[in-house]
Structure 1
Amino acid sequence: MKRFVDSMESFIFWSRWLQAPLYIGLIAAQGVYVYQFFIELWHLVHDASQANEIKTMLTVLGLVDVVMVSNLLIMVIIGGYETFVSRLELISNHPDRPDWLSHVDAGVLKVKLSMALIGISSVHLLRSFISMGSATSNASSTVDYNNLQWQVIIHVVFLISAIAMAWVDRIVSNKSKH
């Protein structure tokens, strides 16, 4: 019976490697974001002489949004792999190793991801506010206040969730220290 249990536990532990292809898929998704970034950057530079300040600002905020999502992907890829699959020994002494990676665990990763989502949501909300301001000054445009209201509600939910996760993580980490 002990041999069966040991084999089952080894198989369960090995199953963590099933996540590795998922992280490779996220790397491919990040490649798509890099492609989209350069397409938007090309449009920004190419149309610079015809764009007004608001259009330029919205495009730049779109670029910032892509970078922030890409940063989120890096946190998920590296932090998730290191936390749930295997240690990244090849970068343990690398000078470019992110500081947060040395003390990452599932709780820290959740808080960092929630903070990144808040940042992304903030940029998206700012774009919506700027678009709304542009639409209200343009008589032919309409503003979708209902959509904007839902964006604000979702952003507030992200904020409350992040605060709650950070608070729970702090409680759990304080209890584990004692």
Structure 2
Amino acid sequence: MERFLENTMYASRWLLAPIYLGLSLALLALTLKFFQELYHLVPHIFEQSEADLILVLLSMIDMALVGGLLVMVMISGYENFVSQLDIDEDKEKLEWLGKMDSGSLKLKVAASIVAISSIHLLRMFMDAQQIANDKLLWYVIIHMTFVVSAFAMGYLDKLTRH
């Protein structure tokens, strides 16, 4: 009975596989949204002010960072919790593949969230004339919460590894 229970629990890790596949569909949705933004930007590029262009570009950079985060979570999560990826030797292989454990994945996710939050905060500051000061203050507080959380996670990880 114990053996059956242990085998069942171990096999249940495969329930995560559809979730990681769903993340690839989310990546597809993000890609479509990116090109929709690009499609709307190009015809009106000469009509936009520099500030508006920068806001759109920051939004696109934000999407690229979120896409990278999705890939990192999808691939390393699958490899850490479901099964190792079997990639042919003649195919291109990501350098970090097989080297990122769940602890380092958490740190990468936290760093990515800080980067995404930084870009969002920069977008808010560039549009500061239309945003109330108390709202800007909350954006800064939330961003600093992400920064402090990421730093604390990194520090705790360093303490536990040594």
TM range (shorter): over 0.9
TM-score, length basis structure 1: 0.86
For residues 92-171 of structure 1, the aligned pairs below 5 Å read 93=89, 96-132=92-128, 135=129, 142-171=130-159
Aligned equivalents of 2:150 and 2:122: distance in 1?
A: 19
User: For each residue in 1:23-80, what CA deviation from the matched residue of structure 2 results, as whole angstroms up to 9, or x when unmatched?
Assistant: 1111111111000100111111111121010110000001000000001100110011
Count of equivalent residues: 162
| Structure 1: runs of 5 or more not aligned | 136-141
* Cα distance change, pair 173–94 in 1 and its aligned pair in 2 (3 A): farther
**Aligned-residue RMSD, C-alpha:** 1.3
SS at match of 2:92: coil
Which amino acid is the alignment partner of residue 70 of structure 2? Answer: L
| Structure 2: runs of 5 or more not aligned | none
Which amino acid is the alignment partner of residue 169 of structure 1? Answer: D
Aligned equivalents of 1:163 and 1:95: distance in 2?
A: 36
Percent pairwise identity: 38
Aligned equivalents of 1:42 and 1:27: distance in 2?
A: 22
Please say which structure displays the higher CA radius of gyration: 1
Which amino acid is the alignment partner of residue 20 of structure 1? Answer: A
* Cα distance change, pair 165–5 in 1 and its aligned pair in 2 (3 A): same
Shift of 1:94: 5.7
Aligned equivalents of 1:94 and 1:162: distance in 2?
A: 37
